[in-house]
Amino acid sequence: MPTRHVRPGKAGKLGTPVRILWATALAAATLSASGCTTLSDYINNCFKVGPNYKRPTAPVAQKWIDADDVRVRSEPEDDSHWWTVFNDPVLSDLIQTAYRENLTLREAGFRVLQARASLGIAVGELFPQNQEMIGSYTRRGVSENVANRIATPQRWFSTWDYGFGLAWELDFWGRFRRSIEAAEDSLDASVENYDDVLVLLISDVASNYVRYRVLEQQLAYTRAVVKLQTQSLQIAQAKFKGGQVSQLDVNQAQANLSATEVVIPQLEISLREVNDKLCVLLGLPPEDLKAKLGAAAIPTAPTSVAVGIPADLLRRRPDIRRAEREAAAQCAEIGVADAEFYPQISINATWGWAAEHFKDLFAHGSFRGSIGPEFHWAILNYGRILNNVRVQDARFQELVAHYQQIVLRADGEVEDGLARFLKAQDEQRNAKDSVKAQQAAVKDAIAQYEGGLTDFNRVAVVEEQLVSRQNQLAQAEGEIALGLIQVYRALGGGWQIRCDTNATPATNATPSDATSLAPAPQIHQLPNSTNQAPPVAER
The domain that contains 364 carries what CATH number? 2.20.200.10
Distance CA 58, CA 39 (A): 31
Count of Cβ atoms closer than 10 Å to residue 139 Cβ: 8
Q: Residue 146: give the domain boundaries.
A: 127-170+343-376
| Closest listed residue to residue 319, CA positions, set 410, 150, 196 | 196
Question: Highest-confidence range of 268-272, 518-522, 524-528, by mean pLDDT?
Answer: 268-272
* Number of domain units in the chain: 1
Asked if residue 222 has pLDDT above 60, the reply is: yes
Distance CA 467, CA 283 (A): 36
Is 410 in contact with 319 (CB distance < 8 Å)?
yes
Strand-pair category, 130-141 with 344-355 = unpaired
Q: Could you tell me the pLDDT band of residue 516, with boundaries at 50, 70 and 90?
A: very low
Sheet holding 156-169, edge to edge: 130-141, 156-169, 344-355, 367-376
Count of Cβ atoms closer than 10 Å to residue 435 Cβ: 21
Arithmetic mean of pLDDT, 288-307:
91
* 137 vs 516: which has the higher pLDDT: 137
- Judge whether 86 lies within some domain: no
- Judge whether 439 lies within some domain: no
- Judge whether 467 lies within some domain: no
SS3 164: strand
Arithmetic mean of pLDDT, 22-43:
63
Beta bridge partners of 133: 164
Asked if residue 317 has pLDDT above 70, the reply is: yes
SS3 300: coil
pTM, two decimals, is: 0.82
Is 490 in contact with 410 (CB distance < 8 Å)?
yes
Arithmetic mean of pLDDT, 14-26:
48
Predicted pLDDT at 520:
44
- Judge whether 160 lies within some domain: yes
- Judge whether 482 lies within some domain: no
Beta bridge partners of 353: 162, 367
- Judge whether 159 lies within some domain: yes
- Judge whether 517 lies within some domain: no
Asked if residue 451 has pLDDT above 60, the reply is: yes
Is 9 in contact with 538 (CB distance < 8 Å)?
yes
Arithmetic mean of pLDDT, 112-136:
91
Predicted pLDDT at 289:
92
Predicted pLDDT at 510:
36
- Judge whether 7 lies within some domain: no
Predicted pLDDT at 515:
30
Q: Could you tell me the pLDDT band of residue 443, with boundaries at 50, 70 and 90?
A: confident
